[in-house]
Structure 1
Amino acid sequence: MQYAWAAVIGLVSGIASGMFGVGGGIVMVPAMMYLLSPPIRDIKQAVGTSLLVIIPTAMVGAAKHWSQGNVEWRTALALFPLALVGGYFGAWLTTRLPAEDLKRLFGGFLILVGLRLILFR
């Protein structure tokens, strides 16, 4: 049953990634926490697993968007260097934060993003 849930999570997060540019954190992490525990032990393992899975997912989605003319290369190149630094720093921070605090921060982040999307243009 775990593999069936994993397949559904992969499909939903892939669709969300291609449509909205999200999927790993917004879809995959919460779904793995609730539907794949065990083998997923905590949010840190869900985040790490999600990041690994989202690499090919993002590449496929980005290639499709590029073929449709939906990639602004100058902006992407400007974002890229510090996004790498931020990704490394964020992963390092997980070694300093307890899993429960990380889970609360993640939940708060999702609420703020959701409210921003709903209430503001």
Structure 2
Amino acid sequence: MFPIEYFIGLILIGICAGFASGLLGVGGGFLIVPLQYFLLKYIGVEPDLAILISFGTSLAIIIPTSLSGAYRHTRTMDNIIKPGIRLGIFGIIGGALGGFSASMLPSRVLEIIFGLLLLFVTVNNIVNINKEKEDAKIPFNWITAGIIGLLVGFSSGLLGVGGGIFLIAILTALLGFSMIEAIATSSIFISLTAIGGFL
């Protein structure tokens, strides 16, 4: 029997993740995974199992929250649908490969990798604060969509995150997307990628 504080914790985590998804174009996994992991450990779940439950649950939550964000964004920007779907097709494959890899690795390795992810998020947000739109450094085509989709999708499945934190940085720094375009495109991408990682 789970204690009542476990269910209260899950509700609060869900609210925070949903808010982050709609506002920032990310799935909220960078919040869901560590918070749920510590919550599961608190109620006595073994770390190896707790980390995998956190990853899987995170990806399951990301699917509906990112779909909700994607729907809102596509109502105001129709130019994001094609790049979002292109990236998402390859993201599903990468997500499935990443999820399989996560199930093979020990929890301590996954904890370290996730810690590095959070460090990347922090540094990236500091570097890109108030950053202006840049010109595209590489063209956006099926080849670049395939490479980016697979790599970001793999990280999504491996770490239980939607991958938006990586994709937004790539879209703005390399492909010349504005921040709002990158956030909106990311919301479509992660709704597809999370399916592969969850499965």
TM range (shorter): 0.7 to 0.9
What residue is the counterpart of 1:113 in the other structure? 121
CA distance in 1, matches of 2:91, 2:107: 23
Return the letter of the residue paired with 2:73: H
Return 5+ residue gaps in structure 1 as ranges.
Answer: none
Deviations 1:13-55 (A, max 9, x none): 0000001122442111111112343376421110001111111
TM-score by length of 2: 0.56
Comparing 2-11 with 32-41, greater Cα deviation is found at: 32-41
TM-score by length of 1: 0.88
Q: How many residues align?
A: 121
What residue is the counterpart of 1:4 in the other structure? 8
C-alpha RMSD over aligned residues? 1.9
Return 5+ residue gaps in structure 2 as ranges.
Answer: 132-199
Structure 2 CA distance for partners of 1:29 and 1:70, relative to 1, 3 Å: farther
Return the letter of the residue paired with 1:72: I
What residue is the counterpart of 1:33 in the other structure? 37
Q: Which has the larger radius of gyration?
A: 2
Q: Which runs of 4+ in 1 moved over 6 A?
A: none
Comparing 62-71 with 74-83, greater Cα deviation is found at: 62-71
What residue is the counterpart of 2:100 in the other structure? 92
Return the letter of the residue paired with 2:24: F
CA distance in 1, matches of 2:112, 2:78: 34
Return the structure number with greater relative CO, CA threshold 8 A, min gap 6.
2
Q: Offset of 1:3 from its aligned partner?
A: 1.2
The question of whether the paired residues in 2 share the 8 Å contact of 1:33 and 1:43 is answered with yes
Q: Offset of 1:114 from its aligned partner?
A: 1.7
